[in-house]
Amino acid sequence: MLKEEKSINIEINNMKKLLIVLFMILASSANGQSPCGDDGLCVVQFNAGFNEANKVTWLGDLTDCENKFIDIQTDAAAAGKYKIVVVPTILIFNGEEEVGRFQANIMMKMETTKDEVQEKIDEIIMEDF
């Protein structure tokens, strides 16, 4: 009987270690990961199909960065992962780190201008020198 208890305790300890490792892997992949990958500057617009009228149209005109669009109506997990509470929202990533966030007003309209976002991009580039 003692041998069985010892074996069960070893199995429980191994399960605990496995759960800790699994938790660490999940936690590291959920935080700070850019939807564009892990290199360079990336600007991401989060919007939803129901708010198409307020889509930011000038995102592709930004320079020195990649850009991406994510529709949270079809990718609901992204809304939670990146803590999107209003659409449109624009996030700037430098590598895997979020370095800028611009959110729409209560009417779901982006008041931030292209020049303001470009200024933030330029500032990030200058900081890397």
pLDDT at position 54: 97
Contact 112, 90 (CB under 8 A): yes
Residue 88: name the closest of 49, 122, 60, 62 by CA.
49
Contact 41, 65 (CB under 8 A): yes
- Average pLDDT over every residue of 14-38: 51
Output the CA angle 122-57-37, nearest 5 degrees.
55
- The two tokens of residue 6 are 């010892």
- Average pLDDT over every residue of 21-34: 46
- Chain segment 58-68, per-residue pLDDT in tens: 999 999 999 99
Is pLDDT of 8 > 80?
A: no
pTM of the model: 0.74
Residue bearing the bigger pLDDT, 18 or 50: 50
* Three-class SS state of 39: coil
- pLDDT tier at 108, thresholds 50, 70, 90: very high
Residue 79: CB atoms within 10 Å: 18
Average pLDDT, the chain: 84
- The two tokens of residue 54 are 């307020």
Residue for token digits 């729409």? 104
pLDDT at position 29: 41
pLDDT at position 38: 77
Is pLDDT of 22 > 80?
A: no
- Chain segment 73-107, per-residue pLDDT in tens: 999 999 999 999 999 999 999 999 999 999 999 99
Residues composing the chain: 129
